[in-house]
Amino acid sequence: MESKRAFLFPGQGSQLSGMGASLYDQTPEIRYLFDQADEILGFGLKDLMFHGEERDLKRTEITQPAVFVYSYATYMSKNEGLPDAVAGHSLGELTALVAAKALDFEAGLKLVSARANAMQAACEMTASTMAAILGLDDKVVHQICQNTPGIVVAANYNCPGQVVISGEIVAVELAMEACKKEGAKRAIMLPVGGAFHSPLMSPAKDMFAEAIAHTVFHTPMCEVYQNVDAHPTTTPETIKHKLLHQLTSSVLWTSTIETMKENGISTYLEFGSKVLGGFVRKIDREAAVTSFE
């Protein structure tokens, strides 16, 4: 039986200064994507990507469009044919939807920009942050978050032994200490300005909901595995619902890859990063993984 393939797209955190510069000169089609992005957004994104300093690229309203454009341009440059399924990590879910033709590039980029601005506005309402917990069982991290005073949740289940927690700064710090006491190998505060995938993103949902309501979604050409429940979806209304709720829900990446494996997917192609490929290898040791960046 022929191996089923999934295409994967990274999220915020995979940005690097100079990203996309070598892609820009490859073909007229790729160059048009970058030029079109500047036009759609109304500012010089490609200049920030190619020449900007890392502190510029860390701003959410810049990071998210930059990662989206770079990973989609990488995908377009490879001509890998049609996948059996797609998935993206957090922001990457929107890139996956464009690759699956549920959204066109312009609609996808406008949604990314609306999402980034909504999330940035929510970040500014509460002092909040995220931290990576390494070497502790998922259930233990979840339980610690539940038992910690204040708002802190397990936000990203990336792979066995790696969970990112998210919430109010003091609550995150308390949960980090508790995780270390329970035997976590490391607890690392992340350089982010907000608590993504936590209840603190609730204000962003109202703003993002309006952008989704004004966007035309199509039936994707393959199954889309979404972060909220790790299940495959092909219905535009369901896709929209899950995309909105992703802002305040955990990214179930480990479950996504486990479900893909159960459904016969054994080959993964990642576009725009090597991070997800690393997670996949830890979740499914038999998987064939290729990362393009």
Q: Are 194 and 131 in contact (CB under 8 A)?
A: no
126 — alpha (psi -120 to 50), left (phi > 0) or beta?
A: beta
CA-CA-CA-CA dihedral for 13, 18, 19, 24, to nearest 10: 170
Which of 145, 184, 181, 130 minimizes the C-alpha distance to 162? 184
What's the token pair of residue 81? 């044919």
Residue 276 φ then ψ, to 5°: -65, -35
Q: How many CA atoms lie within 13 A of 210 on its CB side?
A: 8
Task: Determine whether 245 is an active site residue.
Answer: no
Beta strand 186-189 with 128-134 is antiparallel
Beta strand 223-225 with 128-134 is unpaired
What's the token pair of residue 154? 């397990």
Catalytic residue among 14, 71, 89, 90: 90
Angle at 95 between CA 233 and CA 97, to 5 degrees: 30
What's the token pair of residue 282? 């830890």
Q: How far apart (Å, rounded) are the C-alpha atoms in residues 144 and 141?
A: 5
Task: Determine whether 22 is an active site residue.
Answer: no
Catalytic residue among 166, 197, 198, 273: 197
Beta strand 251-252 with 162-168 is unpaired
- Computed over its alpha carbons, how large is the radius of gyration of the chain? 18
Q: Tell me which residues are annotated as active site.
A: 90, 197
